[in-house]
Amino acid sequence: MFLKKTNKNIMKENKEEQINCEEQEMNKEEECTQQESAQQESADNTQQAENENPEEEEEKDPLAAAQEEIEQLKDQVLRKAAEFENLRKRTIKEKAELILNGGEKAIVTILPIIDDMERAIENGTKTDDPKVLREGMEIIYHKCIKALESLGVKTIDTTDADFDTDEHEAVAMVPGMGDDKKGKVIDCIQTGYKLNDKVIRHAKVAVGQ
């Protein structure tokens, strides 16, 4: 009876020790888990702080930030210099082409008139009628005026015009024309021309005095 009771006590004690060991192991595992969670939370907080405050990282290394800014500015300067050089070369090329071929439009416009004059000269040998020759010359003249107008060239009108030094050149003064003709253009001796409202040749006129 006493032996049986002792064995039971021993078994009970062993079981209690086993339970205590298991509880200790569980406590240790729980402590490890809590430590790992704390470490992970600390790492997350550190990463979040770095992401939220990038300025602090820049402030930590101002030399690297300055060097990066210098490289960016240097790249911008090189790009602008290359663009300016390309623009300069293109401008020089266009200017040279304009100087070399600037009169192309005017020449192409006048060539048909030269063709008409060649035909008029050829037909002039076949007739002696002055009326026919005059009509041919008038046709060529009007065609030439239209060609000049297409290029922006216009004649300076002098009919009953007031004398204007910006457009006219007085080559003669005509006295005794009356007060109503004083300072007026009496006669046009040579036609003047404008190119796009710019006087390229003054009209030579006689002016009433």
Render pLDDT for 159-199 as a digit per residue (tens, 0 to 9).
889 999 999 999 999 988 888 888 899 999 999 999 998 99
Supply the pLDDT for residue 180: 84
What confidence category does residue 32 fall into, taking pLDDT thresholds of 50, 70 and 90?
low
- 117 plus 137 within the same structural domain: yes
Which domain, by its residues, includes 124?
Answer: 94-151
Q: What angle in degrees, to the nearest 10, is found between the helix axes of 104-124 and 130-150?
A: 170
- 98 plus 147 within the same structural domain: yes
The string over 18-36, giving b where at least 16 C-beta atoms fall within 10 Å of a residue's C-beta and e elsewhere, is eeeeeeeeeeeeeeeeeee
Report the pLDDT averaged over residues 146-154.
91
Residue 50 inside a domain? The answer is: no
Supply the pLDDT for residue 24: 63
Residue 22 inside a domain? The answer is: no
Domain count, the chain: 2
Residue 192 inside a domain? The answer is: yes
- 159 plus 117 within the same structural domain: no
Supply the pLDDT for residue 98: 82
Residue 144 inside a domain? The answer is: yes
Beta bridge partners, 170, equal: 205
- 167 plus 209 within the same structural domain: yes
Supply the pLDDT for residue 88: 94
